[in-house]
Structure 1
């Protein structure tokens, strides 16, 4: 039974779920509890990275997945770097979701320009 712990600020799309199940043999998806999700989704952009807060997330990870299980890690660049190193050291498999991006722009009746960015999941890629 393979697990994927979700260390990012969104909910998995159906395409991501299907891809993880088919290509990574994921049987269980684990979201962070609300308190830890709040920490991850609101990394303080000022000063040094608050490692003590990330340590709470690390403890949750160690209790909920096993070596060889996947962690989807996306977010603040410094926090991602720190957690990818942690994941590799502990024997977890850190991955991220690649996307195909499209941009649509249109002029509205009042001459304002509406810009829409579309992201479509392509695959999960290991951090190397």
Structure 2
């Protein structure tokens, strides 16, 4: 018995604090198709995602504009790249899973370089390289 295949996602909504790298864009299109469109957060939401209030004990209501944005803009089976504040990410991943969206995150290889200056101070440089996307909840 053949099971029906899900349609390829049309969009990848970007809920994270960085710009999508060329490697990430290429990888996403190789996996989910050349037709994939990338949809960034509106300016106001981008600013809020970058600074989830650190003085609030509960942030569910603070994230309502993100849920509204996805509800209005997304279609079932669309991707949502979610990375950032741990609690906000957890809440939005659950929202995506409960609303027929595919939450993903970018897996990176990390390299750290340390340089010790003559005065004894240490400068650490981190280099991140995209490796793949991973689905949350699988």
| Structure 2 unmatched runs, 5+ | 1-8
CA contact (8 A) 1:49 1:78 kept: no
Cα separation, 2, equivalents of 1:101 and 1:30: 26
Q: Give the counterpart of 1:20 among 23, 28, 31.
A: 28
**Normalising by structure 1, what TM-score?**
0.92
Q: CA-to-partner distance for each residue in 1:50-85, whole Å, 9 max, x for gaps?
A: 222211111111111100010000011111110001
Cα separation, 1, equivalents of 2:96 and 2:39: 15
CA contact (8 A) 1:67 1:92 kept: yes
Q: CA-to-partner distance for each residue in 1:1-36, whole Å, 9 max, x for gaps?
A: 620000011111111110011112252000011111
Q: Is 1:74 aligned to residue 83 of structure 2?
A: yes
Q: Give the counterpart of 2:39 among 19, 25, 30.
A: 30
**Normalising by structure 2, what TM-score?**
0.86
Cα shift at 1:108: 3.2
Q: What secondary structure, in the 3-state scheme, does the structure 2 residue paired with 1:21 have?
A: helix
**More strand by proportion, 1 or 2?**
1
| Structure 1 unmatched runs, 5+ | none
Q: What secondary structure, in the 3-state scheme, does the structure 2 residue paired with 1:45 have?
A: coil
Larger Rg: 2
CA contact (8 A) 1:94 1:126 kept: yes
**More helix by proportion, 1 or 2?**
1
Q: Is 1:57 aligned to residue 91 of structure 2?
A: no
Cα shift at 1:110: 4.7
Q: Count how many residue pairs are aligned between Structure 1 and Structure 2.
A: 128
Q: Give the counterpart of 1:94 among 99, 103, 110.
A: 103
